[in-house]
Structure 1
């Protein structure tokens, strides 16, 4: 199944109890609001599909894994309500991923920025290529990684988060992300990454679905307050994106 429109593409396939979700957008697999909504719904639907035991989340192409939020939509925000609504899309997606009863394996084949790092962090287990550098550039454009922070901090801790956030212009290599706990394993080639991914997905799909669902709940214990927390964070970002400093920075980045 494939959902495609001007805002991007989501493709879903189910094989041997493995549900694979692939998202894509021409602008480095970035996320406009509609694509965020479609991905959230897709994860909800597959999470309750009895034919699926484990999910694999990946993106299209061979370049970036995900460039985060759509710059065009950020620049188009004209009031706090619109800003909060846009950033709430990432809040709803991360909450859908953590509450999904199926374990989610992330395949990060290339660079991840901003919200892309947050989406990776919301996966339960990540396999990545050695080209999968990460960056949180939000402070450089006048906002901050407020919505995704809980997911990222849960994986790498506050100290590493501070390092990643405050060096907003700096790419951290995949080895750094692996060392800090974001990536479970890294691979020197896409071929080796995909081989390991397939083996892992088949192994997990062979386990008792009830045990996997119970394990998912254990992994995310202590996050029930995220339903409210992430929306509160979306409100912070929604206000900051209206500042003159942010508008100027976004326009410069787009150029």
Structure 2
């Protein structure tokens, strides 16, 4: 098990469990936690034995945004130091978003500011029904800059305008309506819902999942027309059909058996 001060990192079979662990501070982000989360996601992403990453929080909240003492400290930094600090935070969200494995965020309690960035960078968000969300940055005289690419890609500019410009609190049902959350559940239901997602992800080919994530990320930001995308999308599907995983998947289907997604197949696809 990796040793960290502000997070818990545990491997359970083929699942990496990453848990924010500053419960007395509602898991508020400080520089050390940002660095440790980035390191944990980098480690999990590089581990071929890990198939899925689950992100959650200890205590009463998932993440209350930035630690206010930390914010007070960096407010006295110069522009260059503040820029360096902003790059650390932006790199964390990018590392989560571009992880080559599915990332599931399980959120509860309060999800404020940067906590929304952590969740939005994930592929799936499961929220307890009583969870409260807010983008409160403008009420502190700042902007949600580093999380904005992930929030806007998730919920669109119209919803982002309402939520980021008002800074108002909203409940989990609204978070679903704004597409910030995939599934609502009671605290007791979350393990079963999480296991359902894990079952789906583990039934899929590891390299195919990584390629599919990259495909979605690339198409989501492409300004090309559907016609212009024909060569690239044809190339990608051809590569997957010819891959070892693609061959095993089709073979298993006709042989009426579960495909064997072993490490040899995955390595052949890299």
Q: Same fold (TM over 0.5)?
A: yes
2:204 matched to 1:210?
Answer: no
Higher relative contact order (CA 8 A, sep 6+): 1
| Residue of structure 1 in register with 2:183 after alignment | 185
| Residue of structure 2 in register with 1:27 after alignment | 25
May I ask how many residue pairs the two structures share in their alignment? 219
| Residue of structure 1 in register with 2:50 after alignment | 52
Please give the alpha-carbon distance, in whole angstroms, between the structure 2 residues aligned to 1:96 and 1:48. 11
For structure 1, the residue ranges without an aligned partner over 5 or more in a row are 226-255
Larger-gyration structure (1/2): 2
CA-to-partner distance for each residue in 1:29-56, whole Å, 9 max, x for gaps?
0111111011111101111111111111
| Residue of structure 2 in register with 1:132 after alignment | 131
Give the conservation status (yes or no) of the 8 Å contact 1:18–1:205: no
Give the TM-score taking structure 2 as reference length: 0.77
Question: Over the residues paired in the alignment, what is the CA RMSD in angstroms?
Answer: 1.7
2:173 matched to 1:167?
Answer: no
For structure 2, the residue ranges without an aligned partner over 5 or more in a row are 223-270
| Residue of structure 2 in register with 1:249 after alignment | none
Q: How far did 1:223 drift? A: 7.3
CA-to-partner distance for each residue in 1:96-125, whole Å, 9 max, x for gaps?
012211110110122200000111100011
Give the conservation status (yes or no) of the 8 Å contact 1:53–1:205: yes
Runs of 4+ aligned structure 1 residues displaced above 6 Å come to none
| Residue of structure 2 in register with 1:253 after alignment | none
| Residue of structure 2 in register with 1:38 after alignment | 36
Q: How far did 1:12 drift? A: 1.7
Q: How far did 1:82 drift? A: 2.4
Please give the alpha-carbon distance, in whole angstroms, between the structure 2 residues aligned to 1:193 and 1:206. 20
Give the TM-score taking structure 1 as reference length: 0.81
